[in-house]
Structures are given as C-alpha cells and as structure tokens.
Amino acid sequence: MKQLGILDAAFINLEQTNTPQHVGGLGIYDPSTAPGGFVRFKDVIAGVVRRLERLPLFRTRLVEVPGGLDRPYWVKDANFDVEFHLRHIALPEPGDWRQLCIQVARLHSRPLDMSRPLWEAYIIEGLDNIPNLPPGCFAVYTKMHHSLVDGAGGSSFMAAMHDLRPDPDPLEEDEKDTVPKLVDTDPGMSELLAKASVNGAKNTLQLLRGTARTALELGKYALDVARKDVPAPDMSAPRTIFNKAVGPHRVFDAAEFPLAHFKDIKNAAGVTLNDVALGIISGALLRYLEARGEMPGEGSLAAAMPLNMRTRRGTTEDNNQVGSVFASLHTDIADPLARLAAIHEGTQEAKRSGEASPMVDSLMLAGVFSPLVTKAAARLWSRNQLSRYLPMNVTTCISNVAGPDFPLYCAGAKMVDYYGLGVLTPALGLFNLVFSYAGKITLSVLADRDIMPDPQFYHDCLVESYEELYRAALGSDADARTSAEVSPKRRDPQPRDKREPTANRRKQTQPKSGRRKTAAAQARRVPGKARPKAGAKRAAGKAATARGARA
C-alpha cells in the first residue's frame, strides 16, 4: 500500500466528467518485422503481461479514505484482469485516417473506471486505407491517468512497455526479484481513518509550512520583478474561442514531419526545437482563428507549457514532477522568422521567470488540501466558469515530450509512428502535444468537439505554417533539401488499385511554394494594414468549416 503524493492526488481531485484527467498515446505498428510476419492479439497480451512485471503500479487500484479526509492510496488489485485493460477493436469502413482520429477521440473522451487500475489500451485493426503506411499495420491507443505519469513518466512507460528488438529475451529472474512488491489485502476503514488522523496533523503542518514558504517566495519574486532581475509576466493575452466551457466530447488529429527539417529550421534561425514547434503552432492558430473570423483584434495569444520540475524539486513521493510556465506566441508579428525569434526570446525569459516564480507549483495546492475540499472547489470552479476572472488568458497548452531516437517493438512489430494526447481543463479546450521519435516529430491536437468542429482544417493550418516557416528559414535551399522520407498524413486515400508500391509510398517532405494566400492571411496582423471585413471573415469561416468534418 502506497499513499499518493501531493501532486498525484491533485489530478485525482481535479477529475470531472467533462474533463477527465488522463493522458494518452497512439502508436502505429508494422507487423512484418514480427516473427512469422504477423502479430496475434494474444501475442500483445503476453508481451504486456511480461512487461507489467516491471511496472507494479499499473496493477494497483485507487482506495480513497472515507469522507475524503486524506489523500488516497495505491493498493495491489487482487482481481487484476489484464484482458479488461487490453481490448481489441477494428475501425469501421473505410478504415482511413479520419476514422482512426474519430475512434481515438471517442476513446479519449471516456473517463477511466476509477475502481480499477487507472489505464486502458486498445489494439485497433483495419487501418488498410491509411496512405503512407506499410500494409497490415495496427494501432495501439493507450490512456493512463495523470496521477500515474507525467510527460516524462509517460515516455518512460512507453519505453518500459516496448522491446528494443523484434525478438526480445524474457524477463530474467534476477530482474523480477528487483521489482517492488505490494500487499494483496485491502486496508479496512478503521486502518484508513487511523492513518488519516495521524496524517491530519502532518498535513496541517505541511500546509502551514507551504503557505509560509509560498508567501516568502511571492515576496522574493515581486522584489526580483521590481529590480528587473526577472521579467514581469505578460497579462495582456486576449481570450479566444478556446477559453469556453469544455464539454464531454473530443476531436483529435495530428501531423508528422521529419525531425531533420525541424533541425534545419533550428540551426538556420539559432533557436531550439521547442521554439520551432511553438512557431509552427503559433502560425497555425493564426490561420485557423482568422479563417473562422475569431482572431482577437489586439494583443498576442499565449500558451501554457508544462515544465519538468525533477531538477528543482529533487526526489519526492510523486509520480508527477511537473509545473507550468506561460509564454507569448507573438501572433501579433506577421513575419514568421521574426515571430520565431520573438518566441525564442520569450520562452527563455518564461523559463527563467517561471522557475523563479512560486506560481509554477500552484497545481500542488489541489493536492495539499483534503479531497473533500478540493473536489468541491473544482466542481464550483468548473460549473461557474470562474477561470474567466483570471488575469492571464492562455489559448492552448503546448507540451513537448522527447521520445527515443531509435525504433521500439511491440510483440515483434516495429512502431512506425507515435502521437501523444494531453488533457483538457475547464475553459481551456485546446491541447497541442509535440513528440519526437526515431527521426520524426509529430504535432498532435486534442480539442473540445463543439469548439473545434473542423480538426482536419487545423491539421492543414499546421502543415501550411510548417511550410511557410521552412521556406522562410531555408530560403532557396528549402526545395533542395530532402532530409527524410516522411510527409504529413494525407486526407485523400488513394484507390487500392492505384496506390504506389509500398516501398515508394512515403513521399519526401518538400515545403510547397507558390501557395495562394487568402485575403485574411495576406492582411494578417500587419501594423497599419486593414483587417478583412466582417463579411469576408464569415465567408472564410464557412469555407473553413466546410473543409473539416465533425468527429
């Protein structure tokens, strides 16, 4: 039996029907590398069971303290059934990329069963009509509660659940002996209440100490801002359509790019890979909101970025070691390279000021108080949309997770693509996740379905923003560089009898030139230039909506 850490408990306390607190991932696998050239469902189950020997936390369930008087506990599930957590489904016809996105969005919208170990995985077949994939591929969608893992922990989980080669060795006995053991018996009510009474005094002392420490850090931070040792946070970001109340339904889409092309932009502009991703997302948001006639007239959009806090906090009892900083996306700058340079400068300042700010640990407040208090406060916050009174507005959360730069295998099948899915929170209906793996980088979007009914159009905005930034950074060299044989997923599946041979089906990414811009895009945020008229905006918005499909 293990009690949840403060931050892990925060994600349990913030769980609500419309905003479940789980993260997810979608891997696509080529079975031709497996022994015999195919993979059976029972092979995947056997591999997961073998790997779970190293992940005992994923065989535990949550036990809450009566009355919500203390943080809950992880207890080994004596009735653990791996086949409840591993499910086998198939895409409906035509089995294309759109159907896969719809299926993943539906699965991700459903809350986990909180009475069982807090993870699920779905093996999805029927991907036969998705271009640019080897024949016979299958997908695995996995979701895990945020109380189990953060971004870095999720990457570690992915590595632990995969093999480094198609024919792995079985788990050695000496490795099994190093796996921590958990008790089989559930704690009784009297035991939980007794522990809660003891912990009550500790929690009160911890709360008092934390309050005093936060007050001191706030004072120090205010003094540093006054001295201009760290920049003051920007409170001028406008609200957008993504700051509405979040409903129960989701949409998902993703674009895939060569990591080498991102490095080309990084080296040419003198920025980081994370800055390149932010620059592309910034340009995509600009295109998307202008096409819908929803781009705020003043100010720049801002984003929240999760920050790995393992170095700052050191070793703690939490599975999660994450904070958050805020950065401007500089959507008020028309030139993509100038915008990228401003983003780079802003993210560096945000990290310096964010790490110095006590607000980076603000999420921990949801775990310090008893679940009884925090859950009631979370319901009140969501029901009354109190986030609209916050002094800072963010349009999206952008998380960047670095995966392995070498291939991974599941039951012998090589993982060819991977996409991450984040968490939506009340009044923040858009999450962008950046993931790098084996020479590729993916930009995934998760959004509220009612707020973003056209995720395919947002995907196209991401691709166009990438092409614009690549051309701007590389100039005349842009069309000559072929760093990888990877292209964004196409929406128009080719007829089966007209497809290219499998070996040639992955086209090299070449940023397109001569793309015609809309009137809204041409007048984008340029000082002194007239904005499109309302009628033109509405027409562009209708055209954009027509390009997408409701999931």
Question: Domain check: are 378 and 522 in the same one?
Answer: yes
Question: Domain check: are 184 and 253 in the same one?
Answer: no
270 close to 318: Cβ distance less than 8 angstroms: no
Question: Domain check: are 361 and 437 in the same one?
Answer: yes
- Residues contacting residue 140 through CB under 8 Å, at least 6 positions apart: 26, 27, 29, 44, 121, 122, 123, 124, 410
* Rounded Cα gap, residues 151 and 146, in angstroms: 9
* Rounded Cα gap, residues 359 and 346, in angstroms: 18
pLDDT at position 325, please? 84
444 burial type by CB count under 10 A (0-12 exposed, 13-18 middle, 19+ buried): buried
Phi-psi region of 8 (alpha: psi -120 to 50; beta: other; left: phi over 0): alpha
pLDDT at position 449, please? 98
> Does a structural domain hold residue 481?
yes
Residue with tokens 């998380």: 399
Question: Domain check: are 313 and 444 in the same one?
Answer: yes
pLDDT at position 71, please? 87
Note down the domain range covering 466. 241-408+426-493+500-547
> Does a structural domain hold residue 462?
yes
- Residues contacting residue 286 through CB under 8 Å, at least 6 positions apart: 295, 331, 465, 524, 525
* Rounded Cα gap, residues 536 and 123, in angstroms: 45
Question: Domain check: are 251 and 358 in the same one?
Answer: yes
pLDDT tens, the chain, 551 aa long: 888 887 888 888 889 999 999 999 999 999 999 999 999 999 999 988 888 888 888 999 999 988 888 889 999 999 999 999 999 999 998 999 999 999 999 999 999 999 999 999 999 999 999 999 999 999 999 999 998 886 555 666 787 789 999 987 665 444 544 444 555 567 777 777 677 666 766 766 766 776 676 677 667 767 776 777 766 666 678 999 999 999 999 999 999 999 999 999 999 999 999 999 999 999 999 999 999 999 998 889 999 998 766 555 454 555 656 677 889 999 999 999 999 999 999 998 877 766 555 555 555 565 566 666 766 766 666 665 655 555 568 999 999 999 999 999 999 999 999 999 999 998 899 999 999 999 999 999 999 999 999 999 999 999 999 999 999 999 866 655 543 333 444 444 333 333 333 233 333 344 554 443 433 343 334 333 334 444 444 444 444 444 344 44
pLDDT at position 6, please? 79
pLDDT at position 400, please? 94
pLDDT at position 212, please? 72
Question: Domain check: are 245 and 172 in the same one?
Answer: no
Question: Domain check: are 154 and 266 in the same one?
Answer: no
Beta strands 86-90 and 119-125, pairing class: parallel
CATH code of the domain in which 97 resides: 3.30.559.10
Q: pTM for the full model? A: 0.80
Domain boundary among 190, 210, 226: 190
287 close to 465: Cβ distance less than 8 angstroms: yes
> Does a structural domain hold residue 419?
no
Extract the tokens encoding 13. Answer: 């306390």
**Cα 505–255–399 angle (5° rounding)?**
145
Active site residues: 146
- 3-state secondary structure at position 437: strand
* Rounded Cα gap, residues 282 and 271, in angstroms: 15
- 3-state secondary structure at position 60: strand
* Number of domains within the chain: 2
CATH code of the domain in which 395 resides: 3.30.559.30
354 close to 323: Cβ distance less than 8 angstroms: yes
Nearest C-alpha neighbor of 489 from the set 219, 264, 172, 256: 256
489 burial type by CB count under 10 A (0-12 exposed, 13-18 middle, 19+ buried): buried
> Does a structural domain hold residue 483?
yes
Backbone φ and ψ of 124, nearest 5° = -115, 120
pLDDT at position 5, please? 83
> Does a structural domain hold residue 346?
yes
Beta strands in 77-164 (DSSP E): 86-90, 119-125, 138-145
Question: Domain check: are 174 and 321 in the same one?
Answer: no
Question: Domain check: are 34 and 145 in the same one?
Answer: yes
Extract the tokens encoding 489. Answer: 């997923």
Question: Domain check: are 158 and 262 in the same one?
Answer: no
pLDDT at position 223, please? 79
> Does a structural domain hold residue 113?
yes
Question: Domain check: are 154 and 250 in the same one?
Answer: no
Domain boundary among 131, 166, 190: 190
> Does a structural domain hold residue 219?
no
Residue with tokens 């599941």: 410
> Does a structural domain hold residue 341?
yes
Question: Domain check: are 87 and 176 in the same one?
Answer: yes
